[in-house]
Amino acid sequence: MGIFWIVAGKRINRGLSLIGRFLFVLVRMNRGLSPNGRFLFILVALCGFASVASAAKQSSLIAESQLAVPCKGPGCQFVATEKPWPKEIADTGGQVLKFGHFEFSIPTGARLRIVPIGAALVAEYGSGAKIAFHYEYAAQFQPDHIIKLYKRATLKITDFPRILFTKTPSDPEPALIYDRWIWRDAMAGKGLYFGKTEAAFVSKKGAITAYCAETPSSDHASLAYITDVSKPDSYMLIQFDGFGFDILEKLIGSIR
């Protein structure tokens, strides 16, 4: 973050210097014009300068040096397999939940707890197992400049799990720096999550896509990203602890 403000400060100083030069040239060039001509000249020049300043402002959000380093580690070349949508397996007495715009079933006996920070819903079990549901929105990210980066990018927040599960450093990076920022962020997660992954798959059902993986290298036993084509600026993240991968598949199969 410190690097960001140093770069921004240098560009602001450079911008002030350009403003000074611009005013000097403006004064020199409008000599000899009539009052009306001078007014029109200044108005047109200021409009042109405002356009240049606006473009400079847009290009100053992030520098190449602020992008995450390329993916490193054994998980970087991992690509999840595609498989049919898991079958919904009826669980007698199972709890049906609705979170965000998704509805699904979880194992019976859960004590539900809402965690305001991170907008999480946690299902806790007497055995110590738990399932946490997070709804992630690009518009809720902090700090605010991350939201601005997403607004400038052509990639969406739902592209993050797609890159994470289906792309590798061997694939070409996007040309736009804001897209590259999202790409590099996903690749950094790839190195973290997939170092020891034994199972990972991608399944689709209509507009919904599920990206699922065992993640023994992370803080959770397994996880799943759920995206919807109609909601490109959000996804649901599910994290499992104390459950086998079969429970994840059953839950995914119940999503509707």
CA distances from 252 to 37, 135, 210, 228, 256 (A): 70, 16, 7, 13, 9
- If asked whether residues 74 and 11 sit together in one domain, one would say no
Task: Give residue 137's pLDDT.
Answer: 80
CA 152 – CA 166 distance, rounded (Å): 23
- If asked whether residues 18 and 88 sit together in one domain, one would say no
Is residue 215's pLDDT more than 80? yes
- If asked whether residues 87 and 206 sit together in one domain, one would say yes
- If asked whether residues 8 and 118 sit together in one domain, one would say no
Is residue 6's pLDDT more than 70? no
Lowest mean pLDDT among 16-20, 191-195, 230-234: 16-20
Structure tokens at 243: 């459950």
- If asked whether residues 95 and 19 sit together in one domain, one would say no
Lowest mean pLDDT among 37-46, 211-220, 231-240: 37-46
Is residue 153's pLDDT more than 80? yes
Decide if 64 is inside a domain: no
Decide if 203 is inside a domain: yes
- If asked whether residues 120 and 160 sit together in one domain, one would say yes
Please list the alpha-helical segments (H only) found in 127-194. 144-152, 159-166, 177-193
Residue of higher predicted confidence among 204 and 67: 204
Q: Are 26 and 42 in contact (CB under 8 A)?
A: yes
Within 8 A by CB and 6+ apart from 80, the residues are 165, 166, 200, 201, 202, 211, 212, 213
Mean pLDDT, to the nearest integer, of 152-180?
92
What is the overall mean pLDDT for the chain? 76
Whether this prediction's pTM lies above 0.85 is answered by no
Decide if 159 is inside a domain: yes
Asked which of 58, 86, 102 is the last residue of a domain, the reply is 58
Decide if 33 is inside a domain: yes
- If asked whether residues 130 and 97 sit together in one domain, one would say yes
Structure tokens at 107: 């194992």
- If asked whether residues 54 and 155 sit together in one domain, one would say no
Is residue 46's pLDDT more than 50? no
Is residue 120's pLDDT more than 80? yes
Total tally of structural domains belonging to the chain: 2
Q: Which domain holds residue 34?
A: 2-58
Q: Residue 20's pLDDT band (boundaries 50, 70, 90)?
A: very low
Task: Give residue 150's pLDDT.
Answer: 78
Q: What is the CATH number of the domain that holds 227?
A: 3.40.1000
Lowest mean pLDDT among 89-103, 219-233, 242-256: 89-103
CA 124 – CA 109 distance, rounded (Å): 8
Q: Are 159 and 141 in contact (CB under 8 A)?
A: no
- If asked whether residues 125 and 191 sit together in one domain, one would say yes
Structure tokens at 149: 């980066």
Decide if 104 is inside a domain: yes
- If asked whether residues 15 and 128 sit together in one domain, one would say no
Decide if 22 is inside a domain: yes
- Write out the DSSP string of 119-139: TEEEEE-TTS-EEEEEEEEGG
Report pLDDT digits (tens) over 73-118: 788 889 999 999 998 765 545 789 999 889 999 998 999 998 876 6
Decide if 35 is inside a domain: yes
Strands 120-124 and 200-205, sheet pairing: unpaired
Percentage of the chain with pLDDT > 90?
A: 39
Asked which of 29, 58, 87 is the last residue of a domain, the reply is 58
Amino acid sitting at position 227:
T
- If asked whether residues 84 and 158 sit together in one domain, one would say yes
- If asked whether residues 27 and 77 sit together in one domain, one would say no
Decide if 34 is inside a domain: yes
Strands 81-82 and 200-205, sheet pairing: parallel
